[in-house]
Amino acid sequence: MQCVFETRATPDQVFRAFTDFTPRRLETWRDTLKPENYSLHSSGASWAVVREGSLRMGVVLPYEWPEPYTVRWTILESNFCACAHGTGVLTVQAAADGGAQVDIVIEERGGKGVLGPFVLGLKSLVGPAVLRAASKHTLDRIADEHRPFGRDQMASPVPGRALGEWHVGDCRRLS
């Protein structure tokens, strides 16, 4: 399945949303990622292995992003798809309006059990529209909130000064 869409989020915001495996991931993807289905197994500078899912579907995925604006994953374990029969690639490009164009390609085969083939068939029919709508909603929300993704992206509370260049004396008492 493939879905392509544009979002108001910048390419950096999109890339960070998909590669942030801190506890903030649960907040970022709160509409689709359930806390009881999420755990970080291990991570490095450009990779992470996680268990994640929504509803009753869960997977263990190693994510890797060896180059900017591209994220790849492979299904290691799944409760609806046979092990190692699924891959995904997300690519992000700048859009003309300052946002980003997102292209997600997911290949899954080998439905597991009685419901596996049914789930995969259903995902092939409605999956692209659901994935597009859910991802666009989350990414547009991030853009609208101008939410920083780390200390180095945080706005300074003192105009004209970088974060770390302000002091307690710069704060004014509110009364």
* Domain ranges for the chain: 2-170
Cα–Cα distance between 115 and 138 in angstroms, integer? 29
**Architecture label for domain 2-170:** 2-Layer Sandwich (3.30)
CA angle 42/43/47 to nearest 5° reads 130
* 8 A C-beta contact, residue 137 and residue 7: no
pLDDT digit string (tens) for 113-133? 766 666 666 666 666 687 789
pLDDT band (50, 70, 90) for residue 166:
very low
Q: What are the pLDDT digits (tens) for 71-125? A: 999 988 877 665 447 888 999 999 999 999 999 998 876 666 766 666 666 666 6
Structure tokens at 146: 């101008």
